[in-house]
Amino acid sequence: MRFNGRVAIVTGASGGIGRATAARLAAEGARVALVDINTDALTAAAPVGGGAHMTYACDVSDENAVRDCVSAVKERFGRIDLLCNNAGIICTAASITDIDSSEWQRVMGVNLFGVAHFIKHVAPVMIEQGDGGAIVNTASVAGIRSGAGGNIYSASKAGVINLTMTTACDLGSYGIRVNAVCPGLIETGMTKQVFDYARASGKEDRLGARCELRRYGRPEEIAAAIAFLASDDASYVTGQALPVDGGNTASLNLPGMKY
């Protein structure tokens, strides 16, 4: 029960890693605001853990909508202690020469600007409370190395990693910690096409084969890492991007080959 008495906002909470994170925080005592643009799925995702919660439909790429969301959460629960920026979308895998500028704006608007918007409006609440806080952003191994996502998605997640470091420097003097998790291959709604294709073509055994653990991950495993970074167990950790990827980024993408 590491989060008793604490209030958390989890974006992208209608499914996958976001839903698992909301459930994990609630199970450990947090009051959780589940935020997502998908209203129907968001309703289905709650309640989580049986604790106090609220749902809020929000387009994270719209700063005014984010501001209103943060105000609504503070009005409902009186404070905000934890922010888990998990909302994200994928992009086309087209070559850099074939990507339309509108696709750059769409993906960056959610994956990078959405994170920035929530930090911008939650941080002043945490500062005013005067007792610190924790922010955990969901980046990706695609933000660390190539081959894990399309051009725009990878660039957006690299941006999240850098934003994590710079905002950790901005907010450290207030006792607010900012970290990121970088998931590897996880079975979620976002990766459904990859898993469906592999299973339909008899290649399921190859899923996660490029990881040192030789398997893909589960949303609950990422949620566990997020819960650690959000908790007092990580009280001296800030500005870090933690790969949770079965060892994928530890190698040359060929298991067992280090040289």
> pLDDT tens, 119-131?
999 999 999 999 9
- The reply to whether 238 falls in a domain is yes
Tell me what pLDDT residue 51 has.
Answer: 65
- The reply to whether 200 falls in a domain is no
The pLDDT of residue 258 is above 60? no
Domains held by the chain: number: 1
Domain that holds residue 177: 7-186+218-244
- The reply to whether 191 falls in a domain is no
Percent of the chain topping pLDDT 90: 69
- The reply to whether 44 falls in a domain is yes
Band (pLDDT 50/70/90 cuts) for residue 252 is low
Higher pLDDT, 194 or 154: 154
Which of 66, 64, 44, 43 has its CA nearest to residue 55? 43
Query: What residues have CB less than 8 Å from 160, skipping those under 6 apart?
Result: 85, 111, 112, 115, 137, 138, 139, 140, 143, 180
- The reply to whether 167 falls in a domain is yes
Percent of the chain topping pLDDT 70: 88
Question: Domain containing 108 — which CATH number?
Answer: 3.40.50.720
Tell me what pLDDT residue 43 has.
Answer: 76
Among the residue ranges 21-25, 113-117, 186-190, the one predicted with the least confidence is 186-190
Rounded to an integer, the average pLDDT of 186-197 is 68
Q: Tens of pLDDT along 95-124? A: 889 899 999 999 999 999 999 999 999 999
Higher pLDDT, 208 or 80: 80
Which of 31, 15, 240 has its CA nearest to residue 137? 240
Rounded to an integer, the average pLDDT of 176-189 is 90
DSSP conformation letters of the chain: -TTTT-EEEEESTTSHHHHHHHHHHHHTT-EEEEEES-HHHHHHH-S-TTS-EEEEE--TT-HHHHHHHHHHHHHHHS---EEEE----------GGG--HHHHHHHHHHHTHHHHHHHHHHHHHHHHHTS-EEEEEE--GGGTSTTSS-HHHHHHHHHHHHHHHHHHHHHGGGTEEEEEEEE-SB-SSTTHHHHHHHHHTT-GGGTTTTSTTSS-B-HHHHHHHHHHHHSGGGTT--S-EEEESTTGGGSSSSTT---
Higher pLDDT, 187 or 83: 83
Q: Do the beta carbons of residue 73 and residue 56 sit within 8 Å?
A: yes
Rounded to an integer, the average pLDDT of 24-29 is 95
Query: pTM for the whole thing?
Result: 0.92
Rounded to an integer, the average pLDDT of 135-147 is 93
Q: Tens of pLDDT along 42-71? A: 877 765 555 679 999 999 999 999 999 999
Tell me what pLDDT residue 180 has.
Answer: 98
The pLDDT of residue 202 is above 90? no
Active site residues: 153
The pLDDT of residue 206 is above 90? no
- The reply to whether 193 falls in a domain is no
- The reply to whether 209 falls in a domain is no
Amino acid letter for position 240: Q
- The reply to whether 110 falls in a domain is yes
The pLDDT of residue 191 is above 90? no
| Burial class of 98 by CB neighbour count within 10 A (0 to 12, 13 to 18, 19+) | exposed
Rounded to an integer, the average pLDDT of 177-191 is 86
Count of beta carbons in the 10 Å neighbourhood of residue 193: 10
